[in-house]
Amino acid sequence: MTDPVPLLQVEGLRVEFPTRRGVLVAVDGVSFHIDAGEVLGVVGESGAGKSLTGAAVIGLLEPPGRIASGQIRFEGQRIDNLRPERMRRLRGRSIAMVFQDPLTSLNPLYSIARQLTETIRTHLDLDEAAARKRAIELLDEVGIPAAARRIDEYPHQFSGGMRQRVVIALALAANPKLIIADEPTTALDVSIQAQIIALLKRLCAEHGTAVMLVTHDMGVIAETADRVAVMYAGRIVEVGDVQQVIGDARHPYTHGLMGSIPMIGHDVERLVQIDGAMPRLTEIPAGCAFNPRCPRALPRCRSERPELVSAAGAQVACWLFDGAGSDR
């Protein structure tokens, strides 16, 4: 790529869950990178492994989930094998995370002030007064009205959208270089979603913070992301420039996803849907995981697994775009 050392480089990431009935592979050989200040959208159905990829990057996989192989490098340094204490210092300071549900992300028993100053003082060498000042500035920045007064209130006194603003302020508290936003708007009212996404986008642009935006909302991706990675059954099936992927999807799965976005003005009886459902982790078919649902499956798709290959500006894991077997 153009940048010699990307901010985040993930290579061959494999996340496994050992269970009594065998090892489940939830994320399988995922590779991608995020450059400084870039917004990478990660889309896919529930269970595609998007959130687990995010959790693996920030080192918060829930046991018994574990990284079985692969490397995660942050600013060129491996972070997937750091000792817990080193990793903790990185969390919040260099890589932050925003979760899905703002109603449950904040500790109900502590005031906003306490949660903010605690986070600030964990990472920055500030005294209580300076941390509080910074906390108020942060709340101002995320658009909490009368921040200086409201800072001493408790989470339950804020609305859902306001709480997600507080959550974003908490994530930004130590000026991290990367924010992993795990479905940051899914739990919010539709009218609030756009505000929060705009806020996240503006703040990250101002601070030069890169974002890994995990979502299943293609509209959010189209508006926000620079590049997009499409995940299916634990693998990346297509990754590329957002305009490229949305405007001219290569992979039949991505194509199906685009087709299922409702458009205002297009009066259709029924939205296009991809037949079938994503396979369970225990039942991933041989070859390409998407082959049972794929309208354009080749015989080869049922036996051999495609790897990511370059196809006109994007990378696609599909035999249709294998130089030799292409039918286009």
Partner 1 sequence: MLAFIVRRLFQSILVMLAVGFIAFSLFNFVGDPVNNMVGIEATIEERERMAKALGLNDPFPIQFARFAGNALRGDFGQSYRLSVPVEEAIGERLPATLELVFVAAVLALAIGVPLGVYTGLHREGAVSRLLLTTSLIGISLPTFLIGILLILTFSVWLGWLPSFGRGVTVNIGWESNLVSWEGFRSIILPSVTLCLFQLTLLMRLVRAEMLEVLRTDYIKFARARGLTSRAVNFGHALKNTLVPVITITGLQIGSLIAFAIITETVFQWPGMGLLFLQAIQFVDIPVMAAYLCLVAFIFVVINLIVDLLYYVIDPRLRLDGGAARAH
Residues in contact with partner 1 by CB under 8 A are 58, 60, 88-93, 96-97, 99-101, 104-111, 118-119, 122-123, 153-154, 156-157, 167, 170-171, 173-174
Q: Tell me whether residue 123 or residue 235 sits nearer to partner 1 (CB atom).
A: 123
Q: Are strands 66-74 and 309-311 parallel, antiparallel or unpaired?
A: unpaired
Q: Tell me whether residue 104 or residue 310 sits nearer to partner 1 (CB atom).
A: 104
**Tokens at 122, concatenated:** 């964990």
Q: Tell me whether residue 69 or residue 104 sits nearer to partner 1 (CB atom).
A: 104
Contact between 72 and 56 under an 8 Å Cβ cutoff? The reply is: yes
Number of H helices, E strands in the chain: 11, 12
Q: Tell me whether residue 107 or residue 310 sits nearer to partner 1 (CB atom).
A: 107
Q: Tell me whether residue 62 or residue 283 sits nearer to partner 1 (CB atom).
A: 62
Least gap, CB of 204 to partner 1 (angstroms): 17
Least gap, CB of 36 to partner 1 (angstroms): 20
Least gap, CB of 123 to partner 1 (angstroms): 6
Least gap, CB of 101 to partner 1 (angstroms): 6
Least gap, CB of 152 to partner 1 (angstroms): 10
Dist CA 219 CA 197 (whole Å): 11
Contact between 238 and 316 under an 8 Å Cβ cutoff? The reply is: yes
Instruction: Express the helix, strand and coil content of the chain in percent, nearest 5 each.
Output: 35, 25, 40
Provide the 8-state DSSP code for 91. Answer: B
As beta bridge partners, residue 180 has 97, 212
Q: Tell me whether residue 174 or residue 316 sits nearer to partner 1 (CB atom).
A: 174
Contact between 242 and 254 under an 8 Å Cβ cutoff? The reply is: no
Note the Cα 178 to chain centre separation in Å.
11
Least gap, CB of 178 to partner 1 (angstroms): 12
* 257 CB-side CA count, 13 A: 30
